[in-house]
Structure 1
């Protein structure tokens, strides 16, 4: 509790400052974290080796690693900013590309499942979709500290991004789709094998949630990948990718595997296009290959 109230006091002081100074504060913390956090720098290095082999030089590796810390802290700042964000201000910051992809699904009366990853300013992107396009339901993994957990929930949910507990996730998502609401899911994190299926990601096996494919097949939902991009960290573009086809054959298990692999392929393509924006400090390949992060 003491830590939480200290955080709120710091937040109060930061919010008295111009945005440029708030941003400078967090990017400064990011530089410090990069300098002292050898453990996650090693994870980033290993992930780049897995993904690109020897095709990433030392200079590019440092650029990607530095920006990974920077982007993480900017997302933390975005959580604070979202507490005060208005739809009007959000519309000034974010534009949408390929919006017709979403419109086609909605005009056909189909529910929508947005799939994305920890790429760019994902906190802004997720709430922008919910606020500016259509309300969404997403899964929330409860934090250990209940005070910070409530804070994070408030930051995300006040702009039409409704959060459901991870426990019983399929039930919550099913209810949302039946009501015609959109579902938003992150698909780029390692999860336990019993809760996932194996797919290929940069040529190596990983675990990935099959929930989007399972739900899309059952409820004829449109699986639409979406990612947020920026060139200057001042204006952002949320870009919708083409709908991921979900097969409907007599072999449901294979249909779900194929559709899940297709989502992984889109995620890989986006990362290859702009690698520095992805969350490289996560042990993404841990579930698919034992010992892959051992020294």
Structure 2
């Protein structure tokens, strides 16, 4: 009952133009920043850690923009999930680097899309799945009544979701063996036993090892996909670049290094409020890991 009501309400909100929702989102972002001390502190710390070479004025400019962008990113999901698929696809005004997708497909390779919490990351998978079958790994929300809305909004066209459990990982392996595409959030904190401590902007971050296992077992192409949110609700720009992996170097470290470069290309639209440096339940804190290796 609650899920049906939420879907109905979101469908009404989604009728508003994207530019209006982005204006409302900017207000939402500012209110959240002012009302939640924990949220504001995490955002300042994460951003400050990444922008160590910036002046105070430059930092404040990015922080101010990032506060508004975080709100836009939250509220635009209603539009992305509830508007017709063709309209969502058309909101991607430009796509750069699609030739890397075509090259991988022409060579019969599966594709691992790595889409960090940058810009409107949800729209990248929805767009790609209008051209090919795709499975995206997702973690069900803590609020169970939100799950139907999330699945309804994402599982459209040729896009399917795989839960973050053993059965979901099996679906990813099978898709790559068939030469299909999968999608992962490479900066999402994994559960106990599913990651390792790797530096991200100079701080240990528990980083998923699944990417390395998938690539090594399948030989799939690895593509970084990022989506820039345009001003005034004008839509999005999707950029796809290949991740050139170096043999012998830990894949998780290479991924984090590539993500750092990608994030710094558009720092205001990265989700700095995400608790990237948390220690998952059951995982030894990074300091213990460092002492053990010494």
Give the TM-score of the pair, scaled to structure 1.
0.84
> Structure 2: any 5+ residue segments left out of the alignment?
280-284, 289-294
> Structure 1: any 5+ residue segments left out of the alignment?
248-254
Matched, 1:229 2:221: no
- Matching residue of 2:196: 197
- Matching residue of 1:175: 174
Distance 1:141 1:108, change over 3 A: same
2:193 alignment partner, SS class: helix
The number of residues matched between the two structures is 281
Distance 1:12 1:40, change over 3 A: same
Matched, 1:154 2:152: yes
Matched, 1:278 2:277: no
- Matching residue of 2:42: 43
Give the TM-score of the pair, scaled to structure 2.
0.84
Deviation at 1:274?
1.4
Checking the alignment, whether the CA contact within 8 Å between 1:101 and 1:243 is kept in structure 2 is no
Provide the C-alpha distance between the structure 2 equivalents of 1:210 and 1:112, rounded to a whole number of angstroms: 17
RMSD: 2.6
Provide the C-alpha distance between the structure 2 equivalents of 1:35 and 1:206, rounded to a whole number of angstroms: 27
The equivalent position to 2:136 in structure 1, one of 135, 138, 142, is: 138
Deviation at 1:49?
3.1
Provide the C-alpha distance between the structure 2 equivalents of 1:15 and 1:53, rounded to a whole number of angstroms: 38
Deviation at 1:265?
1.0
Checking the alignment, whether the CA contact within 8 Å between 1:139 and 1:163 is kept in structure 2 is yes
Residues 112-162 of structure 1 show CA distances to partners (whole Å, capped at 9, x for unaligned) of 11112110011222211222x423111121223333101101101113221
- Matching residue of 1:252: none
Residues 232-260 of structure 1 show CA distances to partners (whole Å, capped at 9, x for unaligned) of 2413221111233263xxxxxxx5x6222
Distance 1:8 1:113, change over 3 A: closer
- Matching residue of 2:125: 126
